[in-house]
Chain A
């Protein structure tokens, strides 16, 4: 029954709601961690697994929407909002800031579970992307300074000759650097390398025409 490797965080000031939600999630085999206030949630040690945050809007210390804004800076699980009396401006604001769903109390089991599943799935994707990017960043860091100079020139589409001229080195040397870059960045092809560079946010500094002149 229990689905390992995922967790649901509940932040609600009403003890009864926290109980009921935990129980409900238990019936779905989900592990839940409940907090009475935003502060408690922020301070708590949270397991590093795919997760989802069920957040009440009316909280005693920090408003749920404000908490969303606060944690938006870092990596955080996707949020499913709960509210006693949902108004349109609040819901719009929540969704605009990336909330997965905005549920009004009382809510149905299906809606809640759908939202939770969607959120956890989204978190999984985010986490894997973050991990992949992490690997790419690590590879990029292993490049030599000269190779880091070569990379943007290559992905900009410059010919070897042009790139070599740009850096003031011989074409043969550039070839060697280029091969090393491909090898270190584990790029199967130039198109692959271009994609990687894009993900790393390496700017395309030269157009081929500019370099060709």
Chain B
């Protein structure tokens, strides 16, 4: 008994190897060929070890006795079922459920436990044989060997082909199972069994007739039982997971199935295959389980009806064989269809599940991606190729404060323009638009910095970048943009820039020149002021052959200072001493400026000189001022020495401290022992130098000055080498703020010639006075002649005319009369002039009458009216209302007025565009004041114009104003002139109200 499993196992493994070997030949796998080769290689001497190992493994894999018992029981029952269904008398061949159970058990069990199951099956089959089949023991054993071979081969093939554990859930598995377990495996059983039957001649079966029956019986058994067994094994511990609705459906289906089966198989309906729809329904809806259960039930029902003879498959003995085959085919087809359908349904369900899972996964991924997009601390947007934004990340919309991109849609403008206008800083908007349009046009990515408005209205700097997505032909499909907040960075940069600018401004704005040298003396920096001053930059100094410093010295330092500058600087560079120097620098316009320059080295950590920092201060003005001061001092000194006066100064008490060069020369010339005199005392000097007659007076005056602190001027005679000369000496003290004398200054001027000239002048003056008197008389007479000559000439001419009118034949008396009247008028005019002149000299008051000034002014105005018109001068008269009567000579005052008005008109003649003479009369106190105001060129000599013969006119005699003044003064009035603002002069005369007209 114990050998059988061994031989079985032996057979099994060799058969397995053979089969695997065949499969390897057809398959491409190489790893498996190694696995199968290995046992072949080690078979020789190692085989006993291998056997031992296998046996121990077989032992350790022994199944539970319960399972084995159940298996044996089920096997025996299966055998009984088969026996009961063997409707063909004597064959004993029918549906063979044990094969399905056997294969399912092996497929499910581990391979090392197979011997146990084979043993159990052997026991069960032999027991069944004993109960029902009654075949001779060798034949029965042979038949079992065929069955075992079938089960082992089937299980092995299925396990090889299908994935473990075998669930028959995919179509491929089902097809593989059907083909291998139900198609190929029964070949072994049918062959062995049919051979055994024919060999032993049992029931007179031939091999050829028994084989198909055997094969189809086994196949049907496998198809019906194996799935059920698998379901039972696999769900042994699993819970039923069907919902109530499913249970309900299962029950309804079961009833329909049973009903249909009962009807179709019991012969009421002649067509057995009508059971297919409910069967397939079970397969579709409940898949493998449903199919297995339904098939089992179908098999049982069929068996019951067949055995009972009610079935269509039961019939007369002739057709028994045919019916048997038909029955088995029916069951096989049903099973096949149901299994395939279940597999398809299962696969479909699996696919649906997978799809659902995929969708779920995709959704999950999408959520993750979306989360990624939203959580990236940047603004992400997508734009159409034309720049229209089609997506904004939530961060962006939250930032800007708009919920939906569509909120920006406005009719008429593009969404992009609206976004830019609404959210981008106005200063950056144009740049942004330009950037966008350029990027959109060229397709090249371009970074930009701009300010974006946050929902609360604050603008923050962002840096954005857009990249296009292109399709295969290169056309832009989408634009993707991302922008990050760089506000803090920008502000930090700005702050840094501001500080840098401030520093730079500080350096540039310091009113000095700042520069920097390397330790070698190479200039590396000039501030802006210095660059502006020099008109060149550090880089301009680069020349071939000489160092920059040398070039700089040659270019900008004054040639006179260059050598000293170079030496000092190189000394400082060598020793590290502080540099300090004054020198001249050439400004850009070529003018040299004095500079005070200082430089100090900056040391690094190691104490070495890192840089030289220098300052250059423009002290040109100071130097110029100093120079000017020196020059002016020199000039002053030279002037003091050169002026033809003698200058001295003394301390407050009179001790002399300074004599100018002229003085000293004078002293040397006059005083013989001057050099040896030492500090001269004032008395000694005076005694030596002043005329003896003047000396006491001079001394007294000087001492009095020193005593009282007052200045003085005196004339006396100095002793010179060639006699005495007159001099004027003035002494003045300089006082401090309190009035105390600080120093005395004296000047002595040679006035000898002036004194002598004055003497001569005085003598000439007397002669001149007489001459002037004579001249004035002559001039006056010429003036009088002129005044009288005009009317006289008219009179003469008129007289001739009159005479001729009268002498004509006939005499023209009318014209003569007119002429005569003119003669009278002109003669009176001449007489008036003469009379006025006489009155002037007589200063007569006889003709004075009380009259109103306004009438006289009107007359005077009429007299000059023609002239005024010709000159384009207007006269305005303003006479006060309260003017009292004044006693005056009408003709004289008229003469004065005419004279003043004419003077005014003549003064305005030159370039006066708005000539106005305004005459104003006012009552002021006890006088009546008359003003004649013009806008002419004014009066240059207000003091002299009233003098006789003083005139500023080419044709004037210089008598008018003199006569006017004497007229007014003869009326006890005053005549004077005042200046007008902005131009012109006002002549004003007053007449007293209480004039002594009566006297």
Please list the residues of chain A having a beta carbon within 8 angstroms of any beta carbon in chain B: 1, 14-17, 19-21, 23-24, 26-28, 36-37, 58, 60, 82, 84-85, 105-109, 112
> B870–A109 contact, CB under 8 A?
no
> A20–B801 contact, CB under 8 A?
yes
Question: Which residue, B800, B805, B819, has most C-beta atoms of chain A within 10 A?
Answer: B800
- A23-B801, A27-B804, A106-B792 given. 4 additional CB < 8 A pairs? A16-B826, A20-B797, A106-B789, A109-B797
Q: How far is the CA of A37 from the CA of B371 in the complex (A)?
A: 112
> A20–B804 contact, CB under 8 A?
no
Q: Of A15, A17, A58, A60, which contacts B797 at CB under 8 A? A: A17
> B639 contacts the other chain (Cβ, under 8 Å)?
no
- The closest CB in chain B to the CB of A27 belongs to B804
A14 with B794, Cβ < 8 A, contacts A27-B805, A85-B785 known: yes
CB neighbours (8 Å) of A108 from chain B are: 796, 800
> A16–B782 contact, CB under 8 A?
no
> B822 contacts the other chain (Cβ, under 8 Å)?
yes
> B870–A60 contact, CB under 8 A?
yes
Taking the closest CB of chain A, its distance from the CB of B698, in whole angstroms, is 59
> A20–B794 contact, CB under 8 A?
yes
Taking the closest CB of chain B, its distance from the CB of A71, in whole angstroms, is 21
Taking the closest CB of chain B, its distance from the CB of A111, in whole angstroms, is 10
Q: How far is the CA of A17 from the CA of B800 in the complex (A)?
A: 13
List of 5 A-B pairs having minimum Cβ-Cβ separation, nearest first: A105-B793, A20-B797, A109-B800, A27-B804, A106-B796
Number of A-B contacts (CB under 8 A): 86
Which residues of B139-191 are within 8 A (CB) of A?
Answer: none
> B793–A107 contact, CB under 8 A?
yes
30 cross-chain CB contacts under 8 A: A1-B808, A14-B794, A16-B794, A16-B822, A16-B826, A16-B829, A17-B794, A17-B797, A19-B822, A20-B793, A20-B796, A20-B797, A20-B822, A20-B826, A21-B797, A23-B798, A24-B801, A27-B812, A36-B866, A58-B955, A82-B793, A84-B789, A84-B790, A105-B790, A105-B796, A106-B793, A106-B795, A106-B796, A106-B797, A109-B797
> A17–B789 contact, CB under 8 A?
no
CB neighbours (8 Å) of B801 from chain A are: 20, 23-24, 26-27
- The closest CB in chain B to the CB of A58 belongs to B955
Q: How far is the CA of A26 from the CA of B798 in the complex (A)?
A: 11
> B815 contacts the other chain (Cβ, under 8 Å)?
yes
Q: How far is the CA of A123 from the CA of B225 in the complex (A)?
A: 173
What is the predominant secondary structure among interface residues of chain B facing chain A? helix
Q: Of B786, B792, B794, B866, which contacts A85 at CB under 8 A? A: B786
CB neighbours (8 Å) of A14 from chain B are: 790, 794
A27 with B808, Cβ < 8 A, contacts A37-B870, A85-B786 known: yes
Q: Mark B753-773, 1 if CB is under 8 A from A, else 0.
A: 000000000000000000000
Q: Of B782, B785, B815, B867, which contacts A26 at CB under 8 A? A: B815
CB neighbours (8 Å) of B992 from chain A are: none
CB neighbours (8 Å) of B798 from chain A are: 19-20, 23-24
Taking the closest CB of chain B, its distance from the CB of A141, in whole angstroms, is 45
Q: How far is the CA of A14 from the CA of B822 in the complex (A)?
A: 14
> B804–A85 contact, CB under 8 A?
no
> B955–A28 contact, CB under 8 A?
no
> B791 contacts the other chain (Cβ, under 8 Å)?
yes
Which residues of B343-377 are within 8 A (CB) of A?
Answer: none
Q: How far is the CA of A26 from the CA of B802 in the complex (A)?
A: 11
Taking the closest CB of chain A, its distance from the CB of B783, in whole angstroms, is 10
Taking the closest CB of chain B, its distance from the CB of A27, in whole angstroms, is 4
Q: How far is the CA of A15 from the CA of B867 in the complex (A)?
A: 11
CB neighbours (8 Å) of A26 from chain B are: 801, 815
CB neighbours (8 Å) of A60 from chain B are: 867, 870
Q: Of B793, B800, B826, which contacts A84 at CB under 8 A? A: B793
A105 with B792, Cβ < 8 A, contacts A20-B797, A27-B804 known: yes
Question: Which residue, B790, B818, B867, has most C-beta atoms of chain A within 10 A?
Answer: B790
Q: How far is the CA of A16 from the CA of B794 in the complex (A)?
A: 6
CB neighbours (8 Å) of A23 from chain B are: 797-798, 801, 815, 818-819, 822
Q: How far is the CA of A17 from the CA of B797 in the complex (A)?
A: 8
> A15–B790 contact, CB under 8 A?
no
Q: How far is the CA of A76 from the CA of B829 in the complex (A)?
A: 35
Question: Which residue, A21, A27, A85, A105, has most C-beta atoms of chain B within 10 A?
Answer: A27
Taking the closest CB of chain A, its distance from the CB of B210, in whole angstroms, is 165
Q: How far is the CA of A27 from the CA of B797 in the complex (A)?
A: 11
Taking the closest CB of chain B, its distance from the CB of A138, in whole angstroms, is 43
Taking the closest CB of chain B, its distance from the CB of A66, in whole angstroms, is 12
CB neighbours (8 Å) of B800 from chain A are: 24, 27, 108-109
- The closest CB in chain B to the CB of A39 belongs to B870
CB neighbours (8 Å) of B829 from chain A are: 16
Q: How far is the CA of A26 from the CA of B867 in the complex (A)?
A: 27
- The closest CB in chain B to the CB of A19 belongs to B822
> B804–A16 contact, CB under 8 A?
no
Taking the closest CB of chain A, its distance from the CB of B817, in whole angstroms, is 12
Q: Of A15, A85, A112, which contacts B789 at CB under 8 A? A: A85
CB neighbours (8 Å) of A112 from chain B are: 797
CB neighbours (8 Å) of A17 from chain B are: 790, 793-794, 797
> B804–A28 contact, CB under 8 A?
yes
Taking the closest CB of chain A, its distance from the CB of B309, in whole angstroms, is 170
CB neighbours (8 Å) of B815 from chain A are: 23, 26-27
Q: How far is the CA of A15 from the CA of B808 in the complex (A)?
A: 26
- The closest CB in chain B to the CB of A37 belongs to B870
> B796–A107 contact, CB under 8 A?
yes
Question: Which residue, B798, B801, B804, B805, has most C-beta atoms of chain A within 10 A?
Answer: B801
> B822–A85 contact, CB under 8 A?
no
Taking the closest CB of chain A, its distance from the CB of B347, in whole angstroms, is 134
Q: Mark B796-834, 1 if CB is under 8 A from A, else 0.
A: 111011011100100010010011001000100100000
